Chains A and B, each alone.
Chain A
Amino acid sequence: MRSHLPGALLIVGAIMTACSPEPATPKASGEDDGKLSVYVVNYPLLYFAERIGGDAVGVEFPLPADIDPAFWEPSPESIVPFQQADVILLNGAGYARWVEKVSLPETKLVDTSKSFATRFLQVEDAVKHSHGPQGEHSHAGTAFTTWLDPTLALEQAGAVRTALVNLRPQHEAAFAKGFTALERDLLDLDKRLQATVARDPKKPLVGSHPVYQYLARRYGLNLRSVHWEPDSAPDEKMWKELQKLLESHPAKWMLWEGPPLGETIDKLERLGVRSTVFAPCGNVPEKGDFLSVLRNNARNLEAVFAEEGSY
């Protein structure tokens, strides 16, 4: 009897070859197509990362919406997700002092303002106050609201793009496209603000909070600051300080981080000072996004500079 074994083996071999899975092609480094996990320390960086990164990134900003991210005091448990991130975007300039007191993987940290560290501003005459839900805080040291200068915000966005490209080089073209669109928006905003201030560059202004340093430097604003909060009524000592300031700096407008209390507005108007909002947008806005908030700020500033003043 003829043996059918060779034929059977041939058939079995053919079936096994057909059914065997293709060997996995090893991915080159950087070709991981999973979403990048990006953690940020403030809302402007979240906005930049999302505009630039698009669908390739998942950006997390795990802070409560009602606190100032600069003075957040995280619990140990809230640091753990940061430790798992692929990249952690820092503002730099001393922003988010909590970073100095926690353990984060150094190789994943990106200081987005490192490129212009030599151009940081120092806060002069910093004063401590007790107010607000977070209690006492101080702005002593380096001024950190760098993103209020659109040209510095652009440099920070550039650092974000570089960090994303280093981790996902296969998406470089998409990141470049996102960055270009963001760049256009920021430069348009810059031109708009320049044109606004150019109408009356010497106009004296008062900042309710020492957060407008980079804005003032960029546009040459004649601005001095006190340290008030929009949701707290200033005490007598603060009013006296303002009055003394107005003697040498006769401002007619005060810039606020948010809408101030009605009684504060009234009392200011009795001193001849009107109020407008120029929100720093450090945390997620209730409405809109970073760009819409800054455009709203620009609109408010246009109203201020549209008014002719004598001083």
Chain B
Amino acid sequence: MTDVLYLAWRYVLFHRYKTSILVLSITLIAYLPIGLEVLVSQSAEELTARAASTPLLIGARGSALELVLNSLYFESASPTPMRYEQVERVAESGQASPIPLHARFRARGVPIVGTTLDYFDFRRLRVDSGRQMAVLGECVLGARAADELGAGPGGSVVSSPENVFDLAGVYPLKMRVAGVLAPTGGPDDGAVFVDLKTAWVIEGLGHGHQNLASPAASAAVLERDGNRIVANASVVEYTEIDASNLESFHFHGDRAGYPVTAVIAVPHDDKAAVILQGRYQSNDEPCQSVRPRRVMDDLLSTIFRVRGYVVAAVVLVGLSTLATAALVFLLSLRLRQREIRTIVKIGGSRRRVAAVLASEVVIVLLFSLALAGGLTLLTGWLGSAAMRAFIVSS
């Protein structure tokens, strides 16, 4: 047997270019459908893992997909905001604990997410360096956001104006970095987290300004009536919150009307989830409740349909490739007639010749399958991280 294998091996090695092409072709044909299946399954798992860990999302009526993508991945356009009273409504329902989100602003392209400390417990995020944000104007950075912004504990991050031509719009706010979160491999790594109240300050709903009763502000005062002071727009507003001016920061208007982009509702149990969802079914209801897992499953079912077509196409191509390989082999047999006659003349039986030829095919197939298997394993190991990076960066 060893002599058969030796001859087959020497033949394969001698015709290395032909062998390489054959091995590559068969490897691709074997790997493509399997690798695609592994990659798509892992992508689906990545996309659905975060959605599956988020029980319910409440948002303004509109695109459920946009709500989910903005709230889970902090991507896509900011959805229509809803009033903060919806957060209180969830809390007062007694069915779930609300975690508000305000994901409208950015700092040099990095999303700024306004939320409460409950979000960090919910997502199991922990501070890796520095500390958790404690006062208005502080932020904590995701691991990747810290690298992108080049900031760390003690540093600062400035919010970007939404529109450089909108002079009466949102002012940039310089925020102190209190800490950096440990990496999780998820979208939270790429975000700047602030207290919801800080997000409202960025939005202009809260501000701090010089003391209107002080002489320095006299130029800004329009009218004094007892304890009531009316000032004009020249009053100096602070663009950074620090210990010296924190006390001056305040909010105007009713907090119930302040904006949030979504509420993560964490139901106390399954029954509570159903009851809470039911409250948003009415057509008159300004808000909607969505199960992120269901929204992502709908999105993925479209992707899976496309995958099916791709796999079918690959199988067809594979069949034609195999047919071409068989043709190559048969043609090479014709070219090797002299060689075969020589083997027979020097004593090799017909069975031996067939064994040599079959061994050559087996060696090529084995190499191809080994390579395809290796590529599939590599896809399994690295595909997950690659897909995560792709999802997060897209």
B304 within 8 A of A: no
Give the number of chain A interface residues (Cβ < 8 Å): 21
Q: A101-B249, A107-B97, A127-B227 are in contact. Are A79 and B117 (CB under 8 A)?
A: no
A105 within 8 A of B: yes
CB distance from A30 to the nearest CB of B (A): 12
Check B134 against A80 for contact (C-beta < 8 Å): yes
Q: A101-B197, A101-B249 are in contact. Are A107 and B118 (CB under 8 A)?
A: yes
B364 within 8 A of A: no
Report B254-294 CB contacts with A as 1/0, cut-off 8 Å. Answer: 00000000000000000000000000000000000000000
Report Cα–Cα, A74/B227, bound state, in Å. Answer: 27
Check B134 against A76 for contact (C-beta < 8 Å): yes
- What are the residues of chain A within 8 A of B97 when measuring CB–CB? 107
Q: A100-B197, A106-B116 are in contact. Are A83 and B134 (CB under 8 A)?
A: yes
Check A83 against B132 for contact (C-beta < 8 Å): yes
- What are the residues of chain A within 8 A of B307 when measuring CB–CB? none
B131 within 8 A of A: yes
Q: A73-B246, A73-B247, A126-B227 are in contact. Are A104 and B117 (CB under 8 A)?
A: yes
Report Cα–Cα, A105/B119, bound state, in Å. Answer: 9
B135 within 8 A of A: yes
CB-contact partner of B135 in A102, A106, A107, under 8 A: A102
A128 within 8 A of B: yes
B145 within 8 A of A: no
- The A-contacting residues of B in range 95-151, CB under 8 angstroms, are 97-98, 116-118, 121, 131-136, 138
- What are the residues of chain B within 8 A of A102 when measuring CB–CB? 134-136
Report Cα–Cα, A77/B251, bound state, in Å. Answer: 24
Report Cα–Cα, A265/B212, bound state, in Å. Answer: 34
- What are the residues of chain B within 8 A of A125 when measuring CB–CB? 227
- The B-contacting residues of A in range 144-165, CB under 8 angstroms, are none
Report Cα–Cα, A74/B243, bound state, in Å. Answer: 9
Check A105 against B134 for contact (C-beta < 8 Å): no
Which residue, of B98, B116, B134, has the highest number of chain A Cβ atoms within 10 A? B134
Report A223-238 CB contacts with B as 1/0, cut-off 8 Å. Answer: 0000000000000000
The residue in chain A whose Cβ has the minimal distance to the Cβ of B138 is: A76
- The A-contacting residues of B in range 179-200, CB under 8 angstroms, are 195, 197
Report A74-87 CB contacts with B as 1/0, cut-off 8 Å. Answer: 11110110010000
Q: A76-B135, A102-B134 are in contact. Are A83 and B117 (CB under 8 A)?
A: yes
Check B134 against A79 for contact (C-beta < 8 Å): yes
Q: A83-B117, A101-B136, A103-B135 are in contact. Are A76 and B247 (CB under 8 A)?
A: no
Q: A76-B135, A83-B134 are in contact. Are A103 and B243 (CB under 8 A)?
A: no
Check B118 against A106 for contact (C-beta < 8 Å): yes
The residue in chain B whose Cβ has the minimal distance to the Cβ of A126 is: B227
Give the number of chain B interface residues (Cβ < 8 Å): 23
Check A103 against B117 for contact (C-beta < 8 Å): yes
B389 within 8 A of A: no
CB distance from A106 to the nearest CB of B (A): 5
CB-contact partner of A105 in B118, B135, B213, B227, under 8 A: B118
Q: A79-B135, A80-B131, A126-B227 are in contact. Are A106 and B117 (CB under 8 A)?
A: yes
Report Cα–Cα, A128/B117, bound state, in Å. Answer: 34
- What are the residues of chain B within 8 A of A106 when measuring CB–CB? 98, 116-118
CB distance from B134 to the nearest CB of A (A): 4
- What are the residues of chain B within 8 A of A101 when measuring CB–CB? 135-136, 197, 246-247, 249
CB distance from B101 to the nearest CB of A (A): 13
The residue in chain A whose Cβ has the minimal distance to the Cβ of B194 is: A103
- What are the residues of chain A within 8 A of B131 when measuring CB–CB? 76, 80
The residue in chain B whose Cβ has the minimal distance to the Cβ of A79 is: B134
Report Cα–Cα, A105/B120, bound state, in Å. Answer: 10
Check A103 against B118 for contact (C-beta < 8 Å): no
Report Cα–Cα, A92/B121, bound state, in Å. Answer: 25
Report Cα–Cα, A127/B138, bound state, in Å. Answer: 32
The residue in chain A whose Cβ has the minimal distance to the Cβ of B251 is: A100
CB-contact partner of A75 in B98, B178, B243, under 8 A: B243
- What are the residues of chain A within 8 A of B138 when measuring CB–CB? 76, 103
- What are the residues of chain B within 8 A of A77 when measuring CB–CB? 134
- The B-contacting residues of A in range 137-185, CB under 8 angstroms, are 140
Report Cα–Cα, A140/B135, bound state, in Å. Answer: 23
Report Cα–Cα, A100/B241, bound state, in Å. Answer: 14
- What are the residues of chain A within 8 A of B213 when measuring CB–CB? 128
Check B227 against A103 for contact (C-beta < 8 Å): no
Q: A103-B138, A106-B98, A140-B227 are in contact. List 5 more A-B contacts (CB 8 A).
A: A76-B135, A76-B178, A105-B117, A125-B227, A126-B227
* Subset of 18 A-B contacts with CB under 8 Å: A73-B247, A77-B134, A79-B135, A83-B117, A101-B135, A101-B197, A101-B247, A101-B249, A103-B135, A104-B117, A105-B116, A105-B117, A105-B118, A106-B98, A106-B117, A106-B118, A107-B118, A128-B227
Closest 6 CB pairs of A and B: A76-B134, A79-B134, A105-B117, A103-B195, A101-B136, A106-B116
